[in-house]
A and B are shown apart, each in its own frame.
Chain A
Amino acid sequence: MFVVDIVGGLGRRARNAGTAGVVAIRLSGAVLRAGVSLPRAALGQWWGAFARQIQFTAWDALTLVSVLALLCGAIIIGEANAQAVRLGLADTIGRIVVAAGVREIAPALTALIVAGRTGTAIAAELASARALGEADALDALGVDIIQYYVLPRVAGVAVAAMALTLVFDAATLVGGLIAVQALQQMSMTAYLDSVRLALSVSDVYEAIGRGLLNGAGIAMASCVSGLIARRTATEVPRAVSRAMMWSSVVVIGVSALGIMLRVLA
């Protein structure tokens, strides 16, 4: 019986994961359709919500992300430098910063910051809208909830997460440069040459792609988490917690997808 329970449990989890995947695909389609059918008269309102979302997600978090990225670059250099010098591989420092910082840590850490700041805020806002009857009232008036609530948030967070990822990338490289200078192990020119050799245009495209995917995924997970909340105030913290959990899954999934695509390429 114990084995049957375990297998049954695994089956249920697989089915739930499959259902979640189907829901994610259907929701993506619904968001795209909502974008296409947005009434012209609503464009002004929509742009306002989109711009506010970018401001909250990217502009308001810029200092935090920049400081974290500088520290991140410095820590990578600090750790890699000790090992590289010991192994006589000091010229690979730039490659290490690009491989670890730019390709992996920057998109994932930026996405987690976005999930923690913006995703939770979206989930709390939409769960409150459900609890107060605002979402039901809009639906009753014939307003498309996806157009009003989901679309500007998904588009805004996707663009903001992409911009923040690029900022994080740049600040990580600057942090690395500062650390190299502080440790006096390498000249600025040698560090920059090393980074330039390791960095390619595809890294920029990847950062843009992962930023967009992470942002859209986090926003969608957070919107769904808020909008499926039941109409009680106690559902708000549950929605926030659920949004953070789902967003983490999105971030790890996008990271895994990035690695897979790189290996295949």
Chain B
Amino acid sequence: MSAILALTDVLPSRPNAEWADPFTLNVPKGTWTVVRTTPERSHLLARILIGAKETASGEVVVLGRPIGKVSRTERRLLLSDLGVLLDPAGLLSNLSLIDNLIVPAVFRGSKGISLPREHAEDVFQELGIAEYANRRPADVPEDVRQIGALGRALVGNPRLLVLENPIASVRSRAAEDVWRICRALAPTAIITSFRRDEMLYNVADDLYLWDSAGLRRAAVEASA
């Protein structure tokens, strides 16, 4: 399987005690990969993957393009093919939940969406939060807010999902459903997390543990 995301000998631009050794990882097309690590590494890794943080060395290739070396315009175009959810999720507080899905999709000129509202409504329907669609983020429970933010990443049929600590507040049973739906909507994903999440491990193909001893592959069942 060809790698849709490839990190080769990556080191962050600022010296970091936790991330001192070069990091290498491939995410093949059609797989869900989870990297469980410390909060600081998880934060840095997610931002390096989307070109929001620079690297001191190594290369990050996303969908065949070196995201750290492309122009701002090319990076935006590349990001419009991804679905990204960072921690904090940063839902726009002055917009309703559904507008939080529509407005970014409209501004990035998402490909393949002719009717962003209908598409966003479908995503909310699938995720089971349609009743909250017209409420603002501050007026909905935390778990609904987190699912809404995940929905925003799913709009536009992303070729790759990049998630940082997603849906930590969602109950296990609901989380299982959410992950199943996500898996159907986005075939390839990389998830960085510092939390243990059995429901997530159940849908993942590969689980990596990244600690002071380095990056190592773990059996999904054993970790769960």
A positions within 8 Å CB-CB of B? 37, 39, 41-42, 45, 129, 132-144, 147-148
Contact = CB atoms under 8 A, between A and B. Distances in A.
A42 B99 CA distance: 13
Interface string B73-90: 101111110101010111
Contacts, number: 72
Contact of B91 (A134, A139, A140, A148): A134
B86 A136 contact: yes
A132 B79 CA distance: 21
B79 A140 contact: yes
B91 A39 contact: no
A79 B152 CA distance: 62
Interface stretch (B106-114, B125-133, B196-204): B106-114
Contact of B90 (A39, A45, A132): A132
Interface in B154-206: 162
Given A41-B116, A136-B52, A141 B79 contact: yes
A34 to B, nearest CB: 11
B57 interface: no
Given A138-B90, A140-B162, 18 more contacts: A41-B106, A42-B107, A129-B92, A132-B93, A133-B86, A133-B90, A134-B92, A135-B90, A137-B91, A138-B107, A140-B50, A140-B84, A140-B86, A141-B108, A142-B75, A142-B80, A143-B76, A144-B107
Contacts of A139: 52
B14 to A, nearest CB: 15
A141 B92 contact: no
17 contacts: A39-B106, A39-B108, A41-B109, A45-B106, A133-B89, A134-B90, A134-B91, A138-B92, A138-B107, A140-B52, A140-B86, A141-B79, A141-B80, A141-B153, A142-B104, A143-B76, A143-B108
Interface string B40-65: 00000000001010000000000000
A137 B76 CA distance: 13
A233 to B, nearest CB: 13
B103 interface: yes
Nearest to A137: B90
Nearest to A144: B76
A141 B92 CA distance: 13
B106 A141 contact: no
A66 B169 CA distance: 52
Contacts of B162: 140
B28 to A, nearest CB: 23
